[in-house]
Amino acid sequence: MARSSTRWTIRTVRDHYKLYGLIYGFTVKEALKRSGDVLVEHLSAIAGEIESNGRPPTDVVPLLLRFQTTMIDLAQSSRIKSGPALNGDDRPR
């Protein structure tokens, strides 16, 4: 079966990021329920590093990825961890 080409349109971009927001919104809610203060402590520390960075934006990318990974890990859900939007396969088709 031939794979269709990826075509970015205003609609696909909006849909993509809306879905991304829904998934991460759900993830952070689950992480707060299951990890509570531990999540807040970890994310606050990472946010502090991001704010005090003072380097080019590209240097912040590893901190943003660590922020996302921490949120996903502390949600303690195999379903969230295995979701395509969370493991790099979130491109529109």
64-91 per-position pLDDT tens digit: 889 889 988 988 888 887 765 555 555 4
pLDDT confidence band for 92 (50 / 70 / 90): very low
Is 47 part of any domain?
A: yes
Structural domain contains residue 32: yes
How many structural domains does the chain have? 1
Q: How far apart are CA 81 and CA 7, in angstroms?
A: 26
- Residue 4 within a domain: no
Residue 5 in any domain: the answer is no
Tell me the pLDDT tens digit for each residue of 3-13.
555 678 999 98
Place of tokens 């991001």: 50
Predicted local confidence at residue 93, as pLDDT: 45
Instruction: Provide the whole-model pTM.
Output: 0.65
- Residue 74: both structure tokens together: 């502390």
The half-sphere exposure of 7 on its side-chain side, counting CA atoms within 13 A, is 5
pLDDT in tens, 14-29: 998 898 889 889 998 9
Residue 26 near residue 92 (C-beta atoms within 8 A): no
User: In which region does residue 36 sit, left (phi positive, over 0), alpha (psi from -120 to 50) or beta (all else)?
Assistant: left
